[in-house]
Amino acid sequence: MTLLERAALSLLHRLDPEVAHGLSIKALQSGLAPGPGPVTSPGLATTMAGLSLPNPVGLAAGYDKNATALAPLSRAGFGFVEVGAATPRPQPGNPKPRLFRLTEDRAAINRFGFNNDGMEAIATRLAARTLGPVPVGLNLGANKDSADRAADFATVLARCGPHVDFATVNVSSPNTEKLRDLQGRAALAALLGGVMETRARLARPIPVFLKIAPDLTEADLAEIAEVALASGIAGIIATNTTLSRDGLQSPHRGETGGLSGAPLFEKSTRTLARLSQLTDGKLPLIGVGGISTPEQAWEKIRAGASAVQLYTAMVYEGLSLIPRIAQGLDTLAKKHGFARVTDATGTGRDRWL
C-alpha cells in the first residue's frame, strides 16, 4: 500500500461509511485511483463456466451497485467484475444508517436492502460500456414490494442479460424480508427454472450462477446442490453475508444486517468445501467471504473454488490489495508445485469438512 493510498483510506475512515463508499466510487470515476490493468500470467489465466479470466480474483457484487465505475474497476487488477444487485424497478433500500464498519473485527455490517437505480438505468450503462479485458457480470435482485419476487430475477435477466458476460441469482441477501426463503428446494427449483428459460431466449446465452447464504443447514446445502445440478446453472457462489455475530469485538456488533469481512472466512469456507463435496466437481464454485490475503484466497481455491471474490477487505486494504492477491496466488501455486492456480482446486477440501 502506498502512502497516498494509506492517507486516502485514513481520510475515508473518518467519514460515514456510506458517504465514504460513494466518494470511493467518485474517485474511480475521476481517475484518481489508476489501476495496473488485469493482472495475468500463464499460471493465473483461468477458464470458468466458459468465461476466460486473466486471473481468478473477482470483485463481489455490492460495491458498484449501479454499474457506474465499470471501466476503472476493469483496470484495477481483477480477473472479473460483478456489479449490482439490480431490481426491475428502482428502490431506495432501507433507511440510513445502514452500513457500519467493524474496524476491530476487520468487518462490516450492511442492511442496504437492494438500493439501486433499477434495471433500465443499469442496462443503459452496461450497454454503453466499452468491452474490456475482463468479464463483467450482474447480480440479479428482486424488489422488496414485488408480488412475484421469483419472476423479478428473470425480468432483470431478460433486460440486462444481452449486455453482460454472466449473471448471478441472489436469493441470499439477509436484508430483504423472506428473500432467503427462496433457497428452499421447491421455490429454488421454480425460480431457477424461470431464469434458465429466460436465459435460453437470449441471443447470447450467458452463464448463470447462484449465490447462497452461509447460514444453511447440512440438509439445506444438500437440497441446493441437488437443485443446482438439475437446473443447468453454471455454478454457485459461496457465500453471501452472515447473520452470525460470534466473537465480534466492535461496538457495532449488535447492528441488524449481513456481516462480511474477516469473521466470515471460516464459516464461508466450510460451506464452500461441503458444496464442493456435494457437487463432486460438476459445478464450478466461486469462494467469497473474509479474503484479505493471498493465503486466504489460496485456502478458498484448495477448499474447492475455481475463483474467488472479495469486497470488504478493500475497505481496510485499498485497491492495491487486488494485484497483491492475484500475484500472491501465482507465487503460492508455483511454491506448491502447481502449473496453474486452478490446478489446486479442491486439493485441500478435506481439512474444512
CA–CA distance, 238 with 210 (Å, rounded to integer): 9
CA–CA distance, 310 with 121 (Å, rounded to integer): 25
CA–CA distance, 40 with 24 (Å, rounded to integer): 25
Q: Among 244, 222, 255, which residue's Cα sits nearest to residue 290?
A: 244
Contact 54, 38 (CB under 8 A): yes
Copy the grid coordinates of residue 194.
424461470
Element (H, E) at 17: helix 17-29
Contact 180, 172 (CB under 8 A): yes
**DSSP assignments along 318-348, one per residue:** -TTHHHHHHHHHHHHHHHTT-SSGGGGTTTT
Copy the grid coordinates of residue 89.
424497478
Per the listing, cell 486466504 goes with 296
Residues 6+ apart with CB under 8 A from 60: 82, 288, 309, 310, 311
Contact 287, 308 (CB under 8 A): yes
CA of 222: how far to CAs of 148, 150, 276, in Å? 26, 21, 11
Is residue 250 part of the annotated active site? The answer reads: no
Contact 240, 213 (CB under 8 A): yes
What b/e string do you get for 201-222 counting C-beta neighbours within 10 Å, with b at 16 or more? eeeeebbbbbbbbbbbeeebbe
Q: Of 24, 74, 172, 173, which residue is the catalytic one?
A: 173
Q: Among 257, 253, 169, 244, which residue's Cα sits nearest to residue 214?
A: 244
Catalytic positions are: 173
